[in-house]
Structure 1
Amino acid sequence: MKHLLTSKKISPLLVIIMTGTIGILLVIAGTAGFIVFQGRFLDRVEKQQQTYFNLVDFRDKVIDFGEKSRGKSGPEKAREKEVLQFMHDRLAVEIGDACPRQDELFPIPSNDNSELLSLQMQTAIDEVRAESRSAAEQLVFFNQIFLFIILGLLLSLNIGAGWLLHYNYRLTLIPLAQLAQRLKRVNRDIPESIHDTAEEMKKELNETMHSPDITQITQSIMSFCGDIEAKNKKLDEIFITDEKTGLFNYRHFKEHLIIDVERAKRFRTSVTIAMIDIDHFKRYNDANGHIAGDRVLEILAGIIRKQSRSSDIPSRFGGEEFAILFPNTDTHTAREISDRLRKIISAEPFPHEDDQPTGELTVSIGIATFPDDAPDWYTLINNADRALYEAKAKGRNNVVAFHELGTKLSPLQ
């Protein structure tokens, strides 16, 4: 039955209903059959008892005939003998119908053999009575057997129903409660929580046997979580992306910075950010127009995206200023990446860059690292911005780390 429930995907509740229906039909059919059998058997017992009483009555008449026939005339005696013969024939039919195993009745007695016939008749009566009693005992025995069968069938149905309920409880209610508890732990504010929940449900669905209902519910929830995750990704692309450059916007940069700083506190790692500003960009816009300036922003964003690692968060901080978040990265590594980026941008042939003071379009970069340069994310941004100002003060097209300033770790006043 366990294989039937799992391979055929039949609901345990449906199995209980089917089993109960079949059991009730069997009880009804068995009861009807037994009632018919019992009725026929009772008819037989009643016929045997009636035959017994008729035999007793016939014996008394035979004895009475033997005692009184001596003083009667021939015609009167003949009439009584005819009556006894009629009773004899009718009783023979009754015996043949009710007690087929009994021998034929004895012949009508004469005056000489009444005592012998009385003994023989008593023997026949005793045999009919014994057979009637045996039939009654058989009827009681059959009733008891029928009751035991019905009780056994009902007990089997109850045990089967109880096992199915326990099986259904184990495969349906317990997993359903576990599923509800797991869904309560889902943090809607963290997309990874929905993804991890769906993966856990998928793993448990493959490793643990469930009822078809729970399997269907779990698959529906997994599909629902997948749809939410896919739509979240589409919304993230709209919500976290800067429309003009295609990089992440400031909101996304800030959220990841806060999370990565907290993670760095927990695991005692480093987080570095680089603030990037285009040198003399206002002069470039005034000379060439904002459309040309937007084109420069697009080209610069492409270079930043290409030079960033997969774990980095390249963002447009605002205006002509960009920022890169380097998770789990120290100052030395971030400085190498930033300096390489500065050189690539300086070598890039931007349109109309000949009008810039140095004859090329360049950037200045300031970097700061947590926890070496700042105790929190807010101070980290301010100190990276300070390093950026220092890079511009040194003549632009430079990379400056905050620790090179030799100042205290405090926010700007």
Structure 2
Amino acid sequence: MQKSLIYAFIAIVAVFSILFYTYAHTITYYNIESKLQEITKQYPSKHLEGIVILDSKVLGARFEKRINAESVEYVLQTSFKDKTLQITQDITQEARLLKFLGLALVFLNLILWVVVAVLLWQNKRNLNLELNAVITALNSLEMENLNTLVLPNKTPLTQALKVFLERVEAHYRIQKQLYSGIAHELKTPLAVIKAKCEVTLLKPRENVVYINALKENIESVNSAQASIKALFNLVNGEQKEKAKVVNIQSELESIAKDFVLLHKERKFNYILQTQGLEIPIKLIFLRQIIQNFLQNAFKFTSKDKMVCLKSYVKDGILKVEVLDEGDGISPNIDVFAPFKKSGEKEGIGLGLFLAKRAAKALGGEIKLENREDMQGAIATFALKI
């Protein structure tokens, strides 16, 4: 900022010098010419030195500067009767003063531009030193320690670089949390696979039972793989999955049975009133929404309280609800914002954010609110059919 002011000051001085010299030169010669013209009015009543009569005749008035070896003269020739009146005045002193003034201003501007050159050189030198320091700092920097980078000085370059690195660090942190969140979303299908394997191995069974169990687990693995891909596409704003006609009752029963298997000792009830309902829908997103609702319900409901899954159609709208008997939600928290958590339970706060994105991809909407009886919360997915 200070250097910018210096540059502006030098530019102003240069412009002022030109204007000042032009003004001084103009005023000086204007005064000389005025004085000579005044003499012409006094002649011949008052005879002064430097006046001669020439035989030739000129029209109007004509000024001429004559530079001699040791002097400078200014000559006015003007018509006088049938001849020419010539008045000569020595302006050596005035010419010297103007010359001195011009040289002084040139010298002053020369000094100032030397200062500019020195400042530019110093600025380039400092910039090179700063860049070398920044490069050294960046070469020793690791991705996990972006916020610990110490940059030299507080110049616009380092400030801009610091802001950029803060954005990179924030993006890296969000991506890291995002991957953790997606991994968290996979806990349920992986836990279901494990539980099915444990149940199958509780006692000896016929080969066909083992084969069916393996087939179910393979389907679960395929579903988990599809969920990973769909979640990444969902976060990146891509919608590659195509809708398929599915039996809603059957899919909701499958999800409910998985959670019955995972929470054998918990109070869980499901009331599904969508028998025979078949609609085109992106199943992975539906499962992601309902699984998130149930995960949260079991997380925030104590073991002696009830969790309930309901589904029904009302006024042409499919509604799937999950009711819990937990502590409810705080009205001051946007639970659908990424990385926002309610309470002190485990998790990173991405589940409902992803569920909302999934609902939007399905053309539906979700909401989470406290129950009217204030005995917990109710999560609702609504889709017009």
**TM-score (normalised: structure 2):** 0.29
**TM-score (normalised: structure 1):** 0.28
More helix by share: 1
More relative contact order, 1 or 2 (CA 8 Å, 6+ apart): 1
